[in-house]
Structure 1
Amino acid sequence: MEPMTPALAFGLPATALYVLASILVYRQFRGQASPSKATILIPGGLAVIAHALTLYAQLITPQGLLLGLFPVASAVALVGAALVVLSSLLRPFQWVSALVFPFAAATIPAALWLHTGYVAHPLEHGIGMHVLLSIVAYAVLALSACQAVLLWVQHRQLKDGHIRGVMRLFPPIQMMESMLFDALWLGECLLTLAILFGFLYVDDLFAQHLVHKTVLTLVSWVIFAVLLFGRHLRGWRGLTAVRFTLAGFAVLLVAFFGTQLVLEVILRR
């Protein structure tokens, strides 16, 4: 019997803790109560720590960093879960955990057992910063997309004449929109830095395996920029903000994960 690897030793508890945190959040929602900070901080915080140790053991190899499709998805989920845990200390952001924690729980087994043949590579400092900023930007903008979905549900229910179910526990629409744009500004700034580091340190950003990713990322950046300037100059809000946010994130999702899926799973490059 082969000994358990460190990634597996930390990954299994991390998955279980994410599942536990998700169950606790959903149970509180069903009981018409807003998720408590303890629910987020204790099992969620422990899950984030175990998840970080899992990725450390999995991504860092003697050959370099293993940045395949599923490990990067797991890294994005880790950053998103960590942001949810930390933000719950400052602002009422706990409900997004109902979307983030289950996703994080699913990415850990995928990263552990689904192998696409991606080979680890050493990364120079500048390229490493590009990768790190990209992962954090993806995570922040993914949280923005989650926030936009919840805001869309609020608007739909308000249009129907009343807020019902768990949505009655959510903050007012004005606060939801404010938090959405705070996250969008942060995500756009991080994405801008990631793109700049890419242009500075990647030798051929428009190489065959990067051209689609580069173009789509720039398109996503433009969509978010238009929304943020529209908010500043024209006061855009509500469903307009939701549509732009989801469109920008959908393009960004295809930019990396769609491209990597084709390269690693279909083309086996």
Structure 2
Amino acid sequence: MDNFITAVAAILYFASIAMIVPGVVNQTGIKTKAVFGSAVLALVFHAWLLSDLIFHRNGQNLSILNVASLTSFIVSCLMTASMFKARLWFLLPIVYSFSAINLVIAKVVPNTFITHLENNSTLLIHISFALFSYSTLCIGALYSIQLAWLDHKLKKKKSLAINPNLPPLLRVERHMFNIIVVGNALLTCTLITGFWFLTDMFTDGNAHKGILSFIAWVVYCILLWGHYQQGWRGKKVTWLSVIGAILLTLAYFGSRFVKEFILS
């Protein structure tokens, strides 16, 4: 049954992509309602698969692949909910591709990391903040990449050729900074709950997570300070946003990848 669910979810994601890409490339109309319907169904099947992969009788399987698939699911949900208002047609094919690939890999590659969140509510709170902060800041990084691309087209005197399906530059910039503000606030809560609730946050096996997460938090604070106090825009903002997302990726998935795949 899980194989069927995986196949249907992946097909629906790629169907959404297939309806978006021609409109972005050829500057034609996009069947927005069809895209939305296909994406919502894909998310339903994705959630169904995640429930089977994560929840077990003896605990929760929060393996690196399941967490990656859960993160891509959260990002896809948030982006799908905003597709009409924010005109995210440039970013959605990227997001849906990652979701489809992650769910297939999570199903095909056996991987286990059992934990017991039902017995540790404080850990559940910390993990929830971590998942949503990482997902939100990844969306911010995607926005920064879109912003850099739109800015490049404008500087190349191609403003008239910009696809009408794409949002205005200033709107993308405003949304990006709003997203990063929210994401950094969630990251702040992640660090506070980690320091407060986790006694092993700076042990040998976990120290790099806290250190890299804190460095990422500093990067985002510098980015926001530079924008709101110094008027930073353009490449500097894009690079800082991407660097912050990379640091969080290394913090959240680096050691898990080594432990679950290389060392095992």
TM-score by length of 2: 0.92
Aligned residues: 262
CA contact (8 A) 1:99 1:146 kept: no
CA contact (8 A) 2:87 2:165 kept: no
Deviates more, 1:54-63 or 1:91-100: 91-100
Residue 176 to residue 119, structure 1, CA distance change in 2 (3 Å): closer
Q: Distance in 1 between matches of 2:28 and 2:69?
A: 29
Matching of residue 112 in structure 1 with residue 112 in structure 2: no
Matched with 1:250 is 246
Matching residue within 87, 90, 107 for 2:85: 90
Superposition deviation, residue 231 in structure 1: 1.4
Superposition deviation, residue 150 in structure 1: 1.4
Deviates more, 1:250-259 or 1:89-98: 89-98
RMSD value over aligned CA atoms? 1.8
Q: Distance in 1 between matches of 2:140 and 2:252?
A: 17
Matching residue within 23, 38, 41 for 1:28: 23
Matching residue within 199, 202, 207 for 2:203: 207
**Residue aligned with 1:178, SS:** helix
Matching of residue 261 in structure 1 with residue 242 in structure 2: no
Q: Distance in 2 between matches of 1:154 and 1:34?
A: 19
Unpaired runs of at least 5, structure 2: none
Matching of residue 61 in structure 1 with residue 56 in structure 2: yes
Q: Distance in 1 between matches of 2:226 and 2:34?
A: 37
Q: Distance in 2 between matches of 1:210 and 1:167?
A: 46
Superposition deviation, residue 167 in structure 1: 5.0
1:74-129 residue CA offsets vs partner (Å, 9 max, x unmatched): 0000000000111124332343212100110000111111124x331102111011
Deviates more, 1:224-233 or 1:71-80: 224-233
Q: Distance in 2 between matches of 1:100 and 1:245?
A: 17
Identity within the alignment, %: 24
Matching of residue 228 in structure 1 with residue 228 in structure 2: no
Matching residue within 108, 128, 131 for 2:127: 131
Matching of residue 174 in structure 1 with residue 140 in structure 2: no
CA contact (8 A) 2:19 2:31 kept: no
Deviates more, 1:18-27 or 1:35-44: 35-44
Unpaired runs of at least 5, structure 1: none
TM-score by length of 1: 0.91
Matched with 1:41 is 36
Residue 47 to residue 199, structure 1, CA distance change in 2 (3 Å): same
Matching residue within 100, 114, 122 for 2:116: 122
Superposition deviation, residue 241 in structure 1: 1.2
**Residue aligned with 1:206, SS:** coil
Superposition deviation, residue 166 in structure 1: 5.9
Q: Distance in 2 between matches of 1:36 and 1:245?
A: 31
CA contact (8 A) 1:154 1:167 kept: no
Residue 227 to residue 39, structure 1, CA distance change in 2 (3 Å): farther
Residue 32 to residue 167, structure 1, CA distance change in 2 (3 Å): closer
Matching residue within 65, 71, 74 for 1:79: 74
Residue 35 to residue 226, structure 1, CA distance change in 2 (3 Å): farther
Q: Distance in 2 between matches of 1:244 and 1:132?
A: 24
Q: Distance in 1 between matches of 2:100 and 2:58?
A: 27
CA contact (8 A) 2:24 2:163 kept: no
Q: Distance in 2 between matches of 1:31 and 1:167?
A: 8
